Amino acid sequence: MGTGISARFAAEGAQVVVADVNEAGANDTVAQITGNGGQAIPSVFDLTDAEACQAAVGEVGSRFGRIDVLVNNAGINRRGPLLELSEDDWRATFAVNLDSMFHMCRAVLLMMIDQGGGAIVNTASQWGLHPAPGHIAYNTSKAAVAMFTQCLARDYASSGVRVNGIAPGEVRTPMLESNLARTGRSLDDLNALVPFGRIGEPEEIAALVAFLASDEAAYLCGTVVEITGAQAVS
């Protein structure tokens, strides 16, 4: 989804900074964007490291003079019910899914306030709103993302910073495809669970994120939008 979101913003004319702990992944996304005529640079650092987040944001601010949009999309899924989940799984899930958001928002907020506003879009999940079995760490972290989004919006709307979130259902990503391979399920199995007839595509998620960050959503603040094809968690 991060690649799709980055590509959509670049297509809209944004100067995109692709942040990832995976250098090869960041470079691949940047190459895809620049190959299509867009503007993008990589920024490789660990989003769970507060100092690294501050340094990366400072570099972007120095280079471009402002940051108009922050999209928090990093996420991992450590599966299992409580008695099958290790403490490391629990901590890693919250470090990536929630703490990274805390670090990046703290790093960006003062700049956005000083420049008169900005937009933040956070990736939650339908599983954070409607719990699915066997994913207690992921579900709980994404529920926290939804509340974090609403609290941040309430606290900083008066400063011109709009904060919204998205809550996708199943989306065809490498993470999903690896899980299909692990479980032996097929894409058709997942499509059958969605009333719309299929799971989502990264480009469809990207379109929603771009809208929430745009001037067309100027009065949307504190909203978490489900994008699921009417899928119910099961």
Taking the C-alpha atoms of residue 76 and residue 180, their distance in angstroms, rounded to an integer, is 16
Taking the C-alpha atoms of residue 167 and residue 100, their distance in angstroms, rounded to an integer, is 18
Cβ neighbours of residue 159 closer than 8 Å, sequence gap 6 or more = 112, 113, 117
Nearest 5°: phi and psi at 142? Answer: -75, -30
Beta-sheet strands, E only, within 61-160 = 69-72, 118-123
Give the distance from CA 190 to its chain's centroid. Answer: 22
Taking the C-alpha atoms of residue 130 and residue 233, their distance in angstroms, rounded to an integer, is 6
156 an active-site residue?
no
Taking the C-alpha atoms of residue 16 and residue 26, their distance in angstroms, rounded to an integer, is 11
Q: Are strands 39-44 and 69-72 parallel, antiparallel or unpaired?
A: unpaired
Query: Which string of b and e fits 143-153 if b means at least 16 CB within 10 Å?
Result: bbbbebbbebb
Residue in 138, 142, 149, 167 annotated catalytic? 138
Q: Is the dihedral of CA 148, 154, 160, 166 positive or negative?
A: positive
Q: Give the three-class secondary structure for 209.
A: helix
> Known catalytic residues?
138
